[in-house]
């Protein structure tokens, strides 16, 4: 698997996937260092809830946003980044024992939802729902992908639509003192 470029460009390149008024969703083709500060600031919302490991760093941005096979989406409101969701090939998490234990590890057909966050002041406007819907639709259109996985707080998967299975539960996920579910979504069940 190609390693990330640790000499990032200053400017990001992206493609607008959806827009409605002052709100738009973009697929990041390359995340430039000019956007690192806002992405890190937004990740503090996750860090407040789940601990310091959830906060992005320039290194984690390079590793997860700029890795070949990753699907990073950002949400903008009036031109400013207000959130993101990022999917990475599960094989890129080969240092994680739980990832290597996934039954589809090594098949290059599973996208792991690494992070999903909208800034607190923009919650409740439907922006998170739209961002997740675009991410799911885009992921489903990738021919090589059959599954999407992720970790969410226990009970969240009850709200998911589609063919979703809870694979297992993890107490104290990543030191958060919270119970998380590891889920698997079959992206195109009709394709077999």
The residue extents of the domains of the chain are: 13-191
Cα dist. 104→32, 55, 57, 111 in Å?
32, 28, 29, 10
CATH number for the domain formed by residue range(s) 13-191:
3.40.630.30
Residue 3 has pLDDT above 80, yes or no: no
| Exposure b/e, 61-79, CB count within 10 A at least 16 = b | bbbbbbbebbbbbbbbbee
pLDDT at 152: 93
**What CA–CA distance (Å, rounded) separates 46 from 44?**
5
Please indicate whether residue 172 or residue 126 has the higher confidence score (pLDDT). Answer: 126
Residue 14 has pLDDT above 70, yes or no: yes
Give the ranges where 51-101 is alpha helix by DSSP (H).
Answer: 58-65, 97-100
| Each residue's pLDDT tens digit, 55-89 | 999 999 988 999 889 999 999 999 999 999 999 99
> What pTM was estimated for this model as a whole?
0.89
Q: How confident is the model at residue 6 (pLDDT cuts 50, 70, 90)?
A: low
Residue 192 has pLDDT above 60, yes or no: no
């Amino acid at each position: 698997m190609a390693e990330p470029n640790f000499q990032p460009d200053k400017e990001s390149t992206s493609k607008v996937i959806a827009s409605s008024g002052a709100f738009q969703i973009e697929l990041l083709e390359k995340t430039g260092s000019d956007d690192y500060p806002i992405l890190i600031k937004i990740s503090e919302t996750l860090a407040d809830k789940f601990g310091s490991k959830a906060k992005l760093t320039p290194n984690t941005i390079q590793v997860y946003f700029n890795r070949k096979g990753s699907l990073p989406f950002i949400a903008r409101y009036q031109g400013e980044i207000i959130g993101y969701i990022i999917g990475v090939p599960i094989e890129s998490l080969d240092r994680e024992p739980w990832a290597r234990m996934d039954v589809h590890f090594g098949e290059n057909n599973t996208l792991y939802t690494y992070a999903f966050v909208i800034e607190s002041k923009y919650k409740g406007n439907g922006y998170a729902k739209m961002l997740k819907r675009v991410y799911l639709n885009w992921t489903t259109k990738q021919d090589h992908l059959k599954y999407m996985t992720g970790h969410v707080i226990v009970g969240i998967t009850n709200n998911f639509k589609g063919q979703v299975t809870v694979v297992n539960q993890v107490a104290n996920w990543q030191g958060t003192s919270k119970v998380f579910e590891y889920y698997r979504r079959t992206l195109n069940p009709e394709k077999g």
